[in-house]
Chain A
Amino acid sequence: NAGVTQTPKFQVLKTGQSMTLQCAQDMNHEYMSWYRQDPGMGLRLIHYSVGAGITDQGEVPNGYNVSRSTTEDFPLRLLSAAPSQTSVYFCASSYSKFSVGKEQYFGPGTRLTVT
């Protein structure tokens, strides 16, 4: 298994540009989520999904859209990038919302800079 993969690893955008951060997992996990991490801070939840076709907002959802058309993929879209979205983005997955005690697996991260 490749685990949780994220592409790209690095990205530079100009203000107002749009892009999609890709996240995929090959573990048949139902739950997937996106976090952002800013310098000196812990991770903050952006959006999450408990299964294909179901998404919900996390702590900091503004400026981001998500969709979950398949179990494997959970892309994060920035419609109009802003400098405040400069951050490191992590995708995570875990088995099931009903799986007590199951750990989450994190991807390697995407480092995004918006100028």
Chain B
Amino acid sequence: DAKTTQPPSMDCAEGRAANLPCNHSTISGNEYVYWYRQIHSQGPQYIIHGLKNNETNEMASLIITEDRKSSTLILPHATLRDTAVYYCIVRVGGGSEKLVFGKGTKLTVNP
């Protein structure tokens, strides 16, 4: 599975959009981009995933560049409860469920 690069930490004001970047320059054509988050001391929680197209669900939006070498997770209206470590993971779909976690980005939402 391809490796990812994320900034170690970011800050965001409550109510504003949080944009979390991820670089995955060695991603293969059959690898998906997944985002999970981990709120302090809890198990990771799935947020969203995508292959080529931009995706949106009730939690977030995922923007993938046309060359698929980077992506951005967008939390449209961040709340204090969104303070967490966010992990960007790329993996092959349909053949392996193994998730390789990096150190992620610690997002702090400030009042």
Q: Which residues of A contact B (CB under 8 A)?
A: 4, 31, 33, 35, 40-45, 48, 50, 58-59, 88, 90, 92, 94, 97-101, 103-109
Contacts and interface: CB of A to CB of B under 8 A. Distances in A.
Contacts of A35: 101
Contact of A100 (B42, B87, B94): B94
Interface of B: prevailing SS: loop
B43 A41 contact: no
Contacts of B16: none
Given A42-B104, A98-B94, A99-B94, A104 B99 contact: yes
Nearest to A49: B97
Contact of B101 (A44, A50, A88): A44
Contact of B102 (A33, A42, A45, A97): A42
Given A101-B49, A103-B49, A107-B43, A45 B98 contact: yes
Contact of A58 (B34, B42, B98, B103): B98
Given A42-B87, A42-B102, A42-B103, A104 B42 contact: no
Contact of B98 (A33, A42, A103, A106): A33
Interface residues of B, number: 22
Given A42-B104, A92-B44, A109-B41, 18 more contacts: A33-B98, A42-B102, A42-B103, A43-B44, A43-B101, A45-B100, A48-B97, A58-B98, A59-B100, A92-B43, A97-B95, A97-B97, A100-B94, A101-B49, A101-B93, A104-B44, A106-B43, A108-B42
